[in-house]
Amino acid sequence: MITPVIMAGGSGSRLWPLSRSAFPKQFLSLSGEGSMLQDTVSRLKGLKTADPITICNEDHRFLVAEQLRAVGQLGSIILEPVGRNTAPAIALAAEIAQQAAQGEDPLLLVLAADHVIRNPEAFITAVKMAVPLAESGKLVTFGIVPESAHTGYGYIRRGEHLGTGFEVDQFVEKPDLATAEAYLQSGEYYWNSGMFLFKASRYLQELEAHRPDIALACSESLKNVSHDLDFVRVDEAAFTACPEDSVDYAVMEKTSDAVVVPLDAGWNDIGSWSALWEVNGKDADGNVCQGDTMLHDTHNCLIQGDERLIATVGVDDLVIVDTKDALMVAQKGRVQEVKRIVESLKADFRSEYQLHREVYRPWGKYDSIDNGQRYQVKRITVKPGAKLSVQMHHHRSEHWIVVSGTAKVTNGEKTVLVSENESTYIPLGVVHALENPGKVPLELIEVQVGSYLGEDDIVRFEDRYGRVEESSDA
């Protein structure tokens, strides 16, 4: 049985302003109908697999659960207290997969949640070809058949033919252009995809042999596991003490059992806006457009809008990305430098590096549509059956106006139903809660007034999502 292991961490800063640390690219729909995470699990339908194991951080846990639940592939979600790169993350998944397999030794199919594969049938074929190698004890990596002399990827040099793949002769770092061109001409090199297939036991054995410190720390962190809703929480202190290393450096470059299976399936890691332009369909002038656009004498551009009309005249080779709170314009050949903007935003303590204007929560979402010195206006959407935490604020009062649906409002000692075109007032310091008891989404306008309107002015008393000790979201 194959157990998919989905690596869903990362911040995707090169795709700012669409991808931000609180809502990175793996949760966005960039090249298909679903998000990249949803596409990752959905393309596995051609394989017989166990429920997936997804690994993410605390901040993204509800996003992961909601998106996987929407495609019927929830499985287990391991929460990393801190990021320690891929080698420890896979070790956690390997031990948990073994426990779930009840004495069997599952094959782990390790996948990133933020890759595009345009030919899923070819991907499934490659995985099936790799299964006999992995079952024999080999550690399989999938090498992407290169389409160009790319300098942004690491490479794998193949060795002797072995079954349906090749022994790995060498892993090499990102090359310069001349070296990459030589690799391409030789036909002996593949792009390093970061996808793997191996037995859980074999990975743990190789990790123990080459990085026993990581293996020990991960085992210790699993001795005190707790389960919270859909999430698996490991021991924070033990995992924080774990050294940081990638699976490539910790295991694959050291083991004598590494093999590579070629993969030619339209793979792209969408590491930049130019990569997104490459994988999407283009108009007759080479433009990729999403949203409301009007173009004149425009060529080879990527234009992505949110709500407003974007009009261009006489421009070529640009990336234009418009969101509710930020507009980014860049030369397509320099989009890797977008991360410099993100670094500057973070250094200046600006929220745009982390949050969108529209923020998702486990109960729904809110959109901060206006704000001033002592007021803030939000449009709040609460999913059917969902409830915000029972809470109070020290510095603000709130006025709620229901736009559609029905709200069940706890306001101090009273609980009332508030319907469309009705409102209620929550005074400063009063314990309150908001719930949607209906079958359709509840939408309301919230007007906050007070001396401090930060999201950390929340004292929680009760929360169905396990956030009582947190203070950063409603």
Q: Which domains are assigned to the chain?
A: 2-268 (3.90.550.10), 273-339 (no CATH), 358-462 (2.60.120.10)
DSSP secondary structure code for residue 385 in this structure: T
Beta bridge partners, 330, equal: 319
Those residues with Cβ within 8 angstroms of residue 77's Cβ, 6 or more apart along the chain or in another chain: 53, 54, 55, 56, 61, 64, 65, 68, 230, 231, 232
In angstroms, rounded to a whole number, what is the distance separating the alpha carbons of residues 405 and 41?
33
Q: What local confidence, expressed as pLDDT, does residue 474 receive?
A: 58
Q: What local confidence, expressed as pLDDT, does residue 468 receive?
A: 65
Q: What local confidence, expressed as pLDDT, does residue 90 receive?
A: 97
Tokens of 116: 């595009």
Tokens of 423: 């409102």
Q: What local confidence, expressed as pLDDT, does residue 267 receive?
A: 94
Q: Which residues in the chain come in under a pLDDT of 70? A: 468-474
Q: Length of the chain in residues, anyone?
A: 474
Angle at 152 between CA 148 and CA 153, to 5 degrees: 80
How would you classify residue 116: left for phi > 0, otherwise alpha for psi between -120 and 50, otherwise beta?
Answer: beta
Count of other CB atoms within 10 angstroms of residue 13: 20
DSSP secondary structure code for residue 284 in this structure: T
Q: Are 268 and 286 in contact (CB under 8 A)?
A: no
Q: Output the pTM of the full model.
A: 0.89
Those residues with Cβ within 8 angstroms of residue 307's Cβ, 6 or more apart along the chain or in another chain: 291, 292, 324
Tokens of 448: 């906050």
Q: What local confidence, expressed as pLDDT, does residue 471 receive?
A: 47
Phi, psi of 29, rounded to the nearest 5 degrees: -95, 105
203-244 residue pLDDT tens: 999 999 999 999 999 999 999 999 887 899 999 999 999 999
Q: What local confidence, expressed as pLDDT, does residue 465 receive?
A: 84
Q: What local confidence, expressed as pLDDT, does residue 102 receive?
A: 84
Largest CA distance in the chain: 76
Beta bridge partners, 449, equal: 375, 397
Q: What local confidence, expressed as pLDDT, does residue 133 receive?
A: 97
Q: Are 92 and 222 in contact (CB under 8 A)?
A: yes
